[in-house]
Amino acid sequence: MRSSLPLVAVLLLAGFVLSFTASEYTLRLLNMAVIASVAVVGLNFAFGYAGLISLGHAAFVGLGAYTLAILTTQAGWSPWLAAIPAILGTGLVAAALGYPLLRLKGHYLALATLGLNVSFSIVAANWIEVTGGTNGIARIPGLSILGHDLKDERSFLWFGLAVLAVLSVLALAIHGSRIGRAMMAVRDDETAAAMTGINVTGVSVSAFALSAIYAAVAGCLFATHVHFVSPDDFSYAHSITHLAMLIVGGEATVAGAIIGATLLTFLPEWFRIFGDGYLAFFGLMMLAILVFLPTGIMGLLRRWRRAPRPGTAPHGAARS
């Protein structure tokens, strides 16, 4: 935890400093990167810590966003009050679904969670009376703190960075805790973990539920920032993107989740200079990262940090 916390702090501080000089367009991208970071830090519990391949993460982001949107626009709740059942309810739904789903392993679990995301999109698109169907839900009220509305991109970014900071510290604390070590033990070898007395099912469901809770927080941030939600915002393609963000940044690391989420938020925009072929360039870069950096950017940084510096003797070598 101690080695990761400084890097996370530097990343968050960099976002805060950029908020004073960035254009309105860049500020909007930074906000989307922060929201994605919250979601991917959450996915890290399931995939990075517990080794659960989830391709349904966007469904939990959507469940949180839609719950807040429905309660604020149809029941007249404030966004702050609506966020409570949105977040806790999503966690409970994930826990309930986790018990049957997590009996599956590997690619079977990936397919099952992918089916969960597709099912969510179908329900959101067809339950017109509640979700608005493909037209979505508009005019979602924004957040207000002590009478100050977070309407502009800069104010919302400061709030988003504060939320990300709190959730990142919590994730780092869980990583170093008993439950965090149990998650990683289950990831490495379920049989050995069970033999040491770890409740494998309980630990896996806990990781899945924690992942969904973070996703719901991201969904609430998205809804109050964009003021609009629709089924397309939470499709299975977004789940795949979340997983790619975590792998590119470096799984099982909070800093890697933030780096990957930020990089994959900005890269598609930067590659638009290539015109209609920008997606091809983006795809090739993604492929190169996955092939040549299988442990992600954080893995590269760890190797660079451990590499002997010029003029220094290798560890254990005799000094002349």
Domain extents for the chain?
5-235
Write out the chain's pLDDT in tens, 320 residues: 445 789 999 999 999 999 999 999 999 999 999 999 999 999 999 999 999 999 999 999 999 999 999 999 999 999 999 999 999 999 999 999 999 999 999 999 999 999 999 999 999 999 999 999 999 999 999 999 988 999 999 999 999 999 999 999 999 999 999 999 999 999 999 999 999 999 999 999 999 999 999 999 999 999 999 999 999 999 999 999 999 999 999 999 999 999 999 999 998 888 887 777 777 777 787 788 778 888 889 988 888 877 666 665 555 444 43
Closest C-alpha to 8, from 259, 302, 255, 305 = 255
Q: Could you tell me the two tokens for 255?
A: 């800093």
> To which residue do tokens 């933030």 refer?
258
Structure pTM? 0.93
Question: What residues have CB less than 8 Å from 164, skipping those under 6 apart?
Answer: 12, 34, 37, 38, 41, 258
Judge contact between 14 and 160, C-beta under 8 A.
Answer: no
